[in-house]
Structure 1
Amino acid sequence: MNAKDEQFAFIHAYSDQYPITKLVEITSVSRAGYYKWFARKGQNIQDRKDESLLPYLIKIFNEHKGTYGRKRIKMELENQYDMMVNEKRISRIMRKYGLRCKIRRKRCKHKPQPYGEIPNVLNRKFKAIKPGKKLAIDITYAKVAKGFQQWVYVCAIKDLFNQEIVAYSMGTSQNMRLVYRALEKLKKRRFAKGALLHSDQGVQFTNPGYRKRLKTMGLIQSMSRRGNCWDNACIENFFGHVKTELPCFFQPETVHEVQEAVEAFIYYYNN
């Protein structure tokens, strides 16, 4: 075995414990060279290593009636045989030799929506024939590069008739005041009596104070189904524009600069 083969064998011997990139750094061979070597010679070495470990895996697997997966087999190898084996290697050998753990079935409990059932009145019917009839609300964020605060949060309300952002507020916390300020701005705009205001299931929009405020304003609340972002795609589309296009126009760094940039972008987007 020449010097390079010895280094490749060294990398392979410790590849279960350390990343290949790190092992290559402490040798004089390349990562690409190691993979070429492994394709030529390493497979046979790996097979022999797997075969030497296989009897222990089968013994533990059978002792526990096939209920042990890679994590518990790893623990058992350490406790019974004082063998330290990487979980990924155990998983690969189990797949290779058809040792399938009897996985417990995960039971998903469908939790009720907070504060009662809020219907999805909008139901992805995003087209509106009149302004101020169908509105959507949500919260997004913009990164702050300098200063103590990391994010500026934006609560925006969109009119689905012409895709205009008709009200918005910004702040360094996504609390209820952020949402209420946006609703106060919406009050100053015209919207139809009994207009629909759609949101996702964020905690701000299931808050009793928020729901009470919508009733006071004469708005009908609509809410997306649990875990279904497409139900509120109309405003998610706007947030996608903000995150993709705003950096093309502005390079804000401080909280104040970010707020000014978002405000300028909303004006640009609306017009």
Structure 2
Amino acid sequence: MNRCQFVEDHQRRHGGKRLCDILGLSRSSFYYWRCTAAARTAGQAVEAGIAARIRKVHQDSDGTYGAPRITAELRDEGGPVVNHKRVARIMRTIGLEGVRLRRRHRNTLADQAATKTPDLIGRNFTASEVNSKYVGDITYRQRAPLS
């Protein structure tokens, strides 16, 4: 519930001016909210219609289409033109997603047959004198060619 709705619900008992002052809401904002209620209701009805069309296209694609493809389908069907950003927003609100086909990349593939390099310094990285121990780390190995 927003503050304007609260004032609307309780103004007869406590007075609109007093409630607006307590809630830190300007009265002009409250009255603007009140006079635009019909437009908001009409907008919600339009959004519900678009949401139904989006659900149908999403079901027809077996749940694979995302916002760009659904937008293209809605344009092909005709009817009111819908922006892809609006389609994405409505899809977020009704909990629909398209399928993402992304390939996973693995950079390092360890060769299981290779011999392990011995630990010559015994994990003791402190040196008693300068230039007596050199340590390095190579974490990336080139993938062996497939045969």
What TM-score range do you get, normalising by the shorter chain? 0.3 to 0.5
- Of structures 1 and 2, the larger Rg is shown by 2
Structure in which a larger fraction of residues adopt strand = 1
After TM superposition, the score normalised by the length of structure 2 is: 0.45
TM-score by length of 1: 0.28
